[in-house]
Amino acid sequence: MNDYNQNKHCEFGTNNPTLMENPFWKCMVCDPHLIGYDGRENNNDDVVDDIDTCHPQWCFSRFGATQTYLPDGRLIRIGGEHEDCYDDDFQIYNDVVVIRNPHIVQGPPMYFLPIPDNFPLERKQHGTLSGSDILGTTKVEDVTIYGYPEHVFPPTDFHTATYVKNNETKDEFIYIIGGLGYMTSSHRRETHVYRLRLSDFSIQRIKTTGNGPVGCTERHRATLETVGGRNMIEICLKNHRRYRLDIETAVWEQINN
């Protein structure tokens, strides 16, 4: 109970990155079927009905998060939101959760995240997966959580996360593109691009130029392409408009349909 009271709320990191050593958070990651309300109820914490006075409880069951399965076997979960603004536990997150040795676990169906295509499923497993099967872990020691200052990496949901490896330097990154954010977020006016460096989990905002998408770039698709020997990330928006980002120059171009 003491750990719950000390760690139940969401906090921003102070460094880029900040190792968030909160036992309660890690326990929530290892019980992904729990929602924010369950965490409160399990710890006899009265839910406050007045959203203006209630501090959301940290929760791992989220909409609009991304998960990336790395070649070395780690799973990277980025951001996402829990519930919506009418709920006491509504929160948009800016954390990065690293899960070593992920395997199929049970989660709440409404927060279902599809298993990445590159995750090695046995053929017999494909036909047995249910709508609540997700990737996760039950071992606290396999969970690492990184936080960030809000100005470094703002709360982000419904973005995309694209793994890129530099073949010359062997550096590995995840490019985080777009998102929705809170109503007052600049995500609503411009398309943010961030780069997560996997060697140290620092995040850098990439300043882009060119003819790119304007804002509210949420629920799009992103794919890594090689064009003229250069790495490009191509995105397709909900309105089917397509854009391509040159990773080396950080220049956008719109692609004619």
Which residue's entry shows tokens 């929760």? 59
In degrees and rounded to multiples of 5, residue 157 shows phi and psi of -145, 155
Categorize the per-residue pLDDT at 2 as very low, low, confident or very high, splitting at 50, 70 and 90.
Answer: low
- pLDDT (mean) for 5-12: 83
pLDDT exceeds cutoff 60 at 202: yes
- pLDDT (mean) for 94-123: 89
pLDDT exceeds cutoff 80 at 210: yes
How many domains does one find in the chain? 1
| Higher per-residue confidence, 210 vs 183 | 210
| Higher per-residue confidence, 189 vs 29 | 29
Categorize the per-residue pLDDT at 49 as very low, low, confident or very high, splitting at 50, 70 and 90.
Answer: very low
pLDDT exceeds cutoff 60 at 57: yes
Q: For the sheet with 203-205, list strands across it.
A: 160-165, 172-177, 193-197, 203-205
- pLDDT (mean) for 11-30: 94
- pLDDT (mean) for 232-246: 94
- The whole domain housing 35 covers 2-255
In degrees and rounded to multiples of 5, residue 63 shows phi and psi of -90, 155
pLDDT exceeds cutoff 90 at 205: yes
pLDDT exceeds cutoff 50 at 52: no
As a whole number, the mean pLDDT across the chain is 88
Distance CA 182, CA 176 (A): 17
Most confident of 104-118, 120-134, 232-246: 232-246
pLDDT, tens only, 122-140 = 765 666 777 788 999 999 9
Distance CA 100, CA 212 (A): 35
pLDDT of residue 50: 43
Q: Are strands 66-69 and 75-82 parallel, antiparallel or unpaired?
A: antiparallel
pLDDT exceeds cutoff 80 at 157: yes
- pLDDT (mean) for 225-237: 93
pLDDT exceeds cutoff 70 at 53: no
Q: What is the DSSP string of the chain?
A: -HHHHHH-B----SSSSEE---HHHHHHHH-TT--HHHHHHHTTPPPPS-TTTPPPBP-S--BS-EEEE-TTS-EEEEEEEES-TTSTT-EEEEEEEEESS-EEEE--GGG--PPPTTS---HHHHTT--TTEEEE-S-GGGEEEEE--TTTS----S-EEEEEE-TTT--EEEEEE-----TTSGGGTS--EEEEETTT--EEEPP-EES---S---S-EEEEEEETTEEEEEEE-TT--EEEEETTTTEEEEEP-
Q: Which of 24-28, 66-70, 205-209 bottoms out in mean pLDDT, i.e. has the lowest?
A: 24-28
If one counts every other C-beta atom within 10 angstroms of the C-beta of residue 223, the result is 12
Q: Quote the tokens at residue 29.
A: 């990651």
Phi-psi region of 23 (alpha: psi -120 to 50; beta: other; left: phi over 0): alpha
